[in-house]
Amino acid sequence: MLSDYKKLTLNSLTLYNIASRIMPYGVSSNYRYFEPYPLYLSRGKGSRVWDVDGNEYIDFNMAYGALGIGHSNPKLVKILKEKLENGTILGFEFADTLKLAKIIKSRFNVDMVRFSSTGTEATMHSIRIARAYTRKKKIIKFEGHYHGSHDQLLVNVSPEKNEVMKKSISSYGIPYDVVKNTLIAEWNNYESVEKLVKKEDVAAIIMEPIAMNMGLIKPDVSFLKGIFSLAKEYGFLIIFDEVKTGGKFYSGASGYYGLKPDLITLSKAIAGGLPLSVIAGKKEVMRVVGPNKTAHGGTFSANPLSVTASIVTLTQILTENSLYEAYKLNSMLSKGYQDFADDLDLDLTVSMWGTSGSIFFSKVLPKNYREFSEIDQRPWYKYFWLMLSNGIIPMADYDEQWTISTQHTKEDIMKHLEIAENILKKVKEEFKYR
Ligand SMILES: Cc1ncc(COP(=O)(O)O)c(C=O)c1O
């Protein structure tokens, strides 16, 4: 409960009081702030993290999915120590980048690749490339999908209930003019896309192929395929933002669904916790990038440490086998929650894909942001505070999901479930479910 969290995290509170005077809300990313004050961590190892009060947690947030290989993975640590001796950034192109480009090309079924450092940069560049290639302006995004913190896609990310499907800008400081070419469609609603592409001259549609910023909401396969047919008919590009999904299934969601979008973006787990992102896709589209053509740059793009980390991560750690093992643990965790829902007669639904999953305190799985926004959040927050106070970080926030890393064990899952069962009983008592 909140009072337990406060008792256990006095040093976090002290740090917050100091930090919030020199850093807005005491954090480096808005998403790390939560009420009443954020948790300050000091280290991580394997499946665990420790906070500044010395509390140990089994971590299922895994840096918002960026740590598919777990904390401080020994294989990565060893090679990075060696590589540090050769420089951090070199200014000119680092030779091993080509090796990584080849790995990405064959694993994610793309023709050409460019590297940046963050997911935000990758999606920002992807829409510029799509506009340059099609010479059109309009971009469709889905309500509830998040593509990073650049202006043009910060629209209808998490609108209030009464603002659903009315165009709303998700941050102060973004003039309407900047987002007037961003159009909003509803996830799993084919007609909402069709209506827009019939009326407007659309350059591209960008989507999280599995929505992971409103829990975890999968697309209907017919809906996804329908969008590919519309793209052919109306001549717009499809961008899969695989910043999250790319590290949770061997060849990402595009591989899982057997689809080839025009462009994909990758980041988070693919470099084992170092900053690296990818914009990749079909040859003819990627070829618009270049000097005096379409801008793409970055001092830190493909820095040697991130490139090395990504090569090791993709070839030695996030392998098909290890991802399958993590998937099995994920199935065990998801089934555990499903069993509690049945046994305790709870209004609880579970959604899983690859190495991630999430729970919703509702009778049926939400299909889109509208349904997600209608779920009462209070039981979730009670569950969250109790899990934290019992040494489990179940996920980072209400709209997030858990990630099973290659360092989680069966014992971690069993411990998680044992604690969750007791907590769900308390949630049921307080909210009188059913
Ligand atoms: C699907 C998706 N795309 C893009 C981003 C932005 O990535 P970054 O935080 O590295 O800028 C995120 C971040 O959570 C994301 O979930």
Q: Nearest C-alpha to atom 2 of ligand 1 is from which residue?
A: 147
pLDDT at 59 over 80: yes
Q: What CATH number is given to the structural domain containing 150?
A: 3.40.640.10
371 lines ligand 1 (CB under 6 A): no
What's the CA-to-centroid distance between 277 and ligand 1, angstroms?
A: 10
207 and 256, same domain (yes or no)? yes
Which residue has better confidence, 433 or 227? 227
CA distances from 226 to 190, 223, 233, 366 (A): 7, 5, 11, 20
Q: What percent of the chain has pLDDT over 70?
A: 99
pLDDT at 2 over 90: no
What is the per-residue pLDDT for 4? 85
For ligand 1, mutation pick of 244, 277, 401 (most atoms within 8 Å of CB):
244
36: cis peptide before it, omega within 30°? Answer: yes
Q: What CATH number is given to the structural domain containing 386?
A: 3.90.1150.10
> For residue 139, what pLDDT band results from cuts at 50, 70 and 90?
very high
Q: Nearest C-alpha to atom 5 of ligand 1 is from which residue?
A: 148
The answer to whether residues 4 and 389 touch, using CB atoms and an 8 Å cutoff, is: yes
111 is catalytic: no
207 and 298, same domain (yes or no)? yes
Strand order in the sheet with 112-116: 112-116, 277-281, 263-266, 237-242, 202-207, 138-142, 182-185
203 and 257, same domain (yes or no)? yes
What is the per-residue pLDDT for 431? 84
The per-residue pLDDT for range 288-330, each reduced to its tens digit, is 999 999 999 999 999 999 999 999 999 999 999 999 999 999 9
The per-residue pLDDT for range 240-269, each reduced to its tens digit, is 999 999 999 999 999 999 999 999 999 999
The per-residue pLDDT for range 382-392, each reduced to its tens digit, is 999 999 999 99
328 and 310, same domain (yes or no)? no
49 and 176, same domain (yes or no)? no
Tell me the backbone φ, ψ of residue 112, rounded to 5 degrees: -135, 155
13 and 88, same domain (yes or no)? no
What is the DSSP secondary structure assignment for residue 23, as one 8-state letter?
A: S
313 and 323, same domain (yes or no)? no
96 and 14, same domain (yes or no)? no
123 and 254, same domain (yes or no)? yes
Q: Nearest C-alpha to atom 13 of ligand 1 is from which residue?
A: 148
The per-residue pLDDT for range 407-426, each reduced to its tens digit, is 999 999 999 999 999 999 99
Closest CA to 125 of 13, 281, 347: 281
Separation between Cα atoms, residue 338 and residue 346, nearest integer Å: 10
pLDDT at 39 over 80: yes
Q: 317, 332, 352 — which closes off a domain?
A: 317
Alpha helices by DSSP H, listed for 168-316, are 176-179, 190-199, 221-234, 252-257, 283-286, 304-312
213 lines ligand 1 (CB under 6 A): yes
Domain residue limits at 400? 2-68+319-431
327 and 203, same domain (yes or no)? no
78 and 185, same domain (yes or no)? yes
Q: 317, 346, 365 — which closes off a domain?
A: 317
The C-alpha angle 388, 391, 392, rounded to 5 degrees, equals: 65
Residue type, 329: L
Number of domains the chain contains: 2
Closest CA to 322 of 195, 408, 244: 408
What is the per-residue pLDDT for 3? 83
What is the per-residue pLDDT for 341? 95
What's the CA-to-centroid distance between 360 and ligand 1, angstroms?
A: 22
What's the CA-to-centroid distance between 243 and ligand 1, angstroms?
A: 6
Residues contacting 236, CB < 8 A, separation 6+: 134, 136, 140, 197, 202, 203, 204, 205, 230
E strand or H helix at 53, and its extent?
none
Q: 249, 283, 317 — which closes off a domain?
A: 317
Cα dihedral 394/395/401/405 (nearest 10): -80
140 and 269, same domain (yes or no)? yes
Closest CA to 407 of 339, 324, 326, 342: 326
What is the per-residue pLDDT for 433? 55
For ligand 1, mutation pick of 268, 300, 356, 400 (most atoms within 8 Å of CB):
268
Residue type, 215: G
Q: How high is the mean pLDDT of the chain?
A: 97
> For residue 149, what pLDDT band results from cuts at 50, 70 and 90?
very high
